[in-house]
Chains A and B, each alone.
Chain A
Amino acid sequence: MNNISAPLLQVENLCTRFHIPEGTVYAVNGISFTIKEGETLAVVGESGCGKSVTMLSILGLIPLPPGEIVTGKAIFRDKDLIKLSESEFEHLRGDEVAMVFQDPMTSLNPVLTIGKQITETLRTHLGLSQEAADQKAVELLERVGIPEAASRLGNYPHQFSGGMRQRVMIAMALSCNPSLLIADEPTTALDVTIQAQIVELVLHLREQLHMTIIWITHDLGVVAGLADRVIVMYAGFIVEEALVDDLYENPRHPYTLALLGALPRVDRRRDHRLNSIPGAPPNLLVEPQGCPFAPRCTYVIDKCWQENPALIPIAPEHKMACWVDTTTTSNGS
């Protein structure tokens, strides 16, 4: 956190919708955030709250149509990514910004060898010859901890385990030394021990390569050990944004409180049921009115139903969107 400088990516009022036969999906509703060079930003929230759509919008990977980016800017090093043409994106993706996906079992092409998939990126962006690219691929695989990398270039994805495939995905993402790595729930599909290994690996690589990372997850446990700053999203809105320690010590938004309350704890009695947030995330087909969390909120007041609170600073480096001050109000339930 010491060498954090200018913003690398600045997203402003991003608004993404999908027009489907059933109506319009309000996936991302005007969110703004910045990430500074060298920082690790975690984006947390339930499934379907717009985390992935936000990142895909920034990278121009939203299918248009049915998708539509209604408003918004995403300034990455003086370039507005939202306005980039497809060919400019092809240069950017994989080179300056790379992405790691959730499910390593399906993110690798089953009929191409690992070597072919890694070298493809190297050859497109760095213009290497096949031999040079092969050599670089071996280095990359060794860097992500794949033993006997040289002999594994000719292997197919089905010859790798899930954890190793995710390592391969990370190696591919790192192949051109991107300045920004977007990791979209990279540990969700893996079991706990492999999860820990992957997190460890990314921490190690971050130190080596001075990368900026956006880490999407719904696992707050992973966030604690990894992120500098956290964004909590709900129904396409950012509801709270804080430094990681601040968020754990001093959570303010009712949704954040509920998420933290739902974390399983080792020190809790074993016959105690896990806490959950009652209800389900809102139907995104309905244009949001009022606070989207109101139906599930235990602090809800009348105003919540009429007007959606804006994200406002409540302390240095801490923003929240809620009408209620949860520190002074008692829990309604």
Chain B
Amino acid sequence: MADAEVLTTKIPRLSQDEIESPPLTLSQLTWRRFRRHKMAMFGGVVLILLFLYSAVGSIILPESYANFTDTTLRLQSPTSAHPFGTDAVGRDILARTIYGGQISLLIGLTAVIIETVAGVLIGALAGYYGGWLDAILMRITEAMLNIPEIFLLIVMAKEFGGKIPSVNFFGREFSGSVIVIVMIIGLTSWMYLARIVRAEFLSLKENDFVLAARSTGTSNSGIIFKHILPNSMAPIIVSATLGVANAILAEAYISFLGLGVQPPTATWGNMLDGANSYLESAPWLWFFPGMLILLTVLSINFLGDGLRDALDPHSRAV
């Protein structure tokens, strides 16, 4: 009797809570896996701080202050009045990184929206319909991929830059070049996503549930957007996340070349433009915007990495 009791007590029992709790939904499972990815959590927190930095900062410091030039104060090293120092025309770098951050992040996010819409549409149509439509769309994609991206960016920036007037948005004035840059980055980066989405659609459309959906009279667009697209969300989310980092970098280098967003609108990229003349004499010119770009891109990449693991349907770890 005593032995039997020992045996039964050793069997681990599910607590009442574990038995009663309903099964986890997909988003709960994803969140659980994501939470265990330390670097991704770190990246996420840093990104939130960066958003707060440029959002809260703009409440404290007005935009006119960021664009205020005072040539008597040019190239001042960091002081208590100007914690990040001043640039070649005496503007406060702290204020400019705050407003520059807004533009850089805005460009990153909106360019990715354009990239994702274009990439998903082209990839989905090519993958789902196949045949001649697939052939045409994929040849266009390959042609775009064959042109070096930096070349495409520079040519398009030169061609369209300065042709669009400034716009007012949320009570603020944006240089027209912001829109041009967003369009250019968005329209030169959709190719990889289109290929990913096409590959997803090629395999997903052979699933039984697609046939089952068709047998209940679901239209082609219903199948593409309601049935197959939700199944390929994971790679799209990951690709879009990493796309934000690439868009911020792309903006930084065309702005650095002086072809991107035009001053006085600040971005982290165009703050670096001109800083190369003072690499050693005034390192604060490139250090702060450079670090912010680095931190943002790094955090986004960590975040994307974590999302990739968390959203992977093959990883069953809970």
Max count, chain A CB within 10 A of own CB: residue among B25, B215, B222: B215
Inter-chain CA distance A212–B114, complex, in Å, is 50
Contacts of B164 in A (CB 8 A): none
* Interface pick from B78-86, B204-212, B251-259, B271-279: B204-212
B168 at the interface (CB under 8 A from A): no
Min CB–CB distance A136 → chain B (angstroms): 14
Cβ contacts A186-211/B at 8 Å (1 or 0 each): 00000000000000000000000000
Inter-subunit contact B211/A101 (CB<8 Å)? yes
A42 at the interface (CB under 8 A from B): no
A5 at the interface (CB under 8 A from B): no
Contacts of A86 in B (CB 8 A): 220
Inter-subunit contact B218/A124 (CB<8 Å)? yes
Inter-chain CA distance A92–B215, complex, in Å, is 9
Inter-subunit contact A120/B209 (CB<8 Å)? no
A109 at the interface (CB under 8 A from B): yes
Given the interface pairs A107-B209, A112-B226, A112-B227, the reply to whether A101 lies near B215 with Cβ below 8 Å is yes
B214 at the interface (CB under 8 A from A): yes
Min CB–CB distance A152 → chain B (angstroms): 10
A68 at the interface (CB under 8 A from B): no
Closest 7 CB pairs of A and B: A94-B216, A94-B217, A106-B208, A93-B217, A99-B215, A107-B212, A109-B209
Contacts of B212 in A (CB 8 A): 99, 101, 107-108, 169, 172
Inter-subunit contact B233/A111 (CB<8 Å)? yes
Inter-subunit contact A61/B217 (CB<8 Å)? no
Inter-subunit contact A94/B208 (CB<8 Å)? no
Inter-chain CA distance A99–B208, complex, in Å, is 12
A159 at the interface (CB under 8 A from B): yes
Contacts of A106 in B (CB 8 A): 207-209
Given the interface pairs A101-B208, A101-B211, the reply to whether A111 lies near B216 with Cβ below 8 Å is no
A90-B219, A94-B216, A94-B217 given; name 17 further pairs at CB < 8 Å: A59-B215, A61-B214, A87-B219, A93-B216, A99-B212, A101-B208, A101-B215, A102-B208, A107-B209, A107-B211, A108-B212, A109-B227, A109-B231, A111-B26, A120-B218, A124-B222, A156-B25
Contacts of A59 in B (CB 8 A): 215
Summarize B's interface: helix, strand, loop or mixed: helix
Interface residues of A (CB under 8 A from B): 59, 61, 86-87, 89-95, 98-99, 101-103, 106-112, 120-121, 124-125, 155-156, 158-159, 169, 172-173, 175
CB pairs A–B below 8 angstroms (10 shown) = A101-B215, A106-B207, A109-B209, A112-B226, A112-B227, A120-B226, A124-B216, A125-B217, A169-B212, A173-B216
Min CB–CB distance B123 → chain A (angstroms): 18
Min CB–CB distance B147 → chain A (angstroms): 34
B148 at the interface (CB under 8 A from A): no
Contacts of B217 in A (CB 8 A): 89-95, 121, 124-125
Given the interface pairs A101-B208, A109-B209, the reply to whether A121 lies near B227 with Cβ below 8 Å is no
Min CB–CB distance A57 → chain B (angstroms): 13
Inter-subunit contact B216/A98 (CB<8 Å)? yes
B230 at the interface (CB under 8 A from A): yes
Cβ contacts B229-259/A at 8 Å (1 or 0 each): 0110100000000000000000000000000
Min CB–CB distance A175 → chain B (angstroms): 8
Inter-subunit contact A111/B208 (CB<8 Å)? no
A103: nearest chain-B partner, CB-CB: B208
Min CB–CB distance B301 → chain A (angstroms): 26
Contacts of A158 in B (CB 8 A): 23
Contacts of A90 in B (CB 8 A): 217-219
Inter-subunit contact A107/B208 (CB<8 Å)? yes
B213 at the interface (CB under 8 A from A): yes
Inter-subunit contact B211/A109 (CB<8 Å)? no
Inter-subunit contact A172/B209 (CB<8 Å)? no
Min CB–CB distance B27 → chain A (angstroms): 11
Inter-chain CA distance A163–B213, complex, in Å, is 19
Inter-chain CA distance A61–B216, complex, in Å, is 11
Inter-chain CA distance A230–B239, complex, in Å, is 53
Inter-chain CA distance A98–B217, complex, in Å, is 9
B232: nearest chain-A partner, CB-CB: A111
Inter-chain CA distance A50–B218, complex, in Å, is 25
Contacts of A101 in B (CB 8 A): 208, 211-212, 215
Inter-subunit contact A159/B214 (CB<8 Å)? no
Contacts of B231 in A (CB 8 A): 109-111
Min CB–CB distance A40 → chain B (angstroms): 19
Contacts of B209 in A (CB 8 A): 106-110
Min CB–CB distance A53 → chain B (angstroms): 13
Identify A61's interface contact among B23, B211, B219, CB under 8 A: B211
A60: nearest chain-B partner, CB-CB: B214
Identify A159's interface contact among B23, B222, B226, CB under 8 A: B23
Inter-subunit contact A156/B219 (CB<8 Å)? no
Inter-chain CA distance A99–B212, complex, in Å, is 8
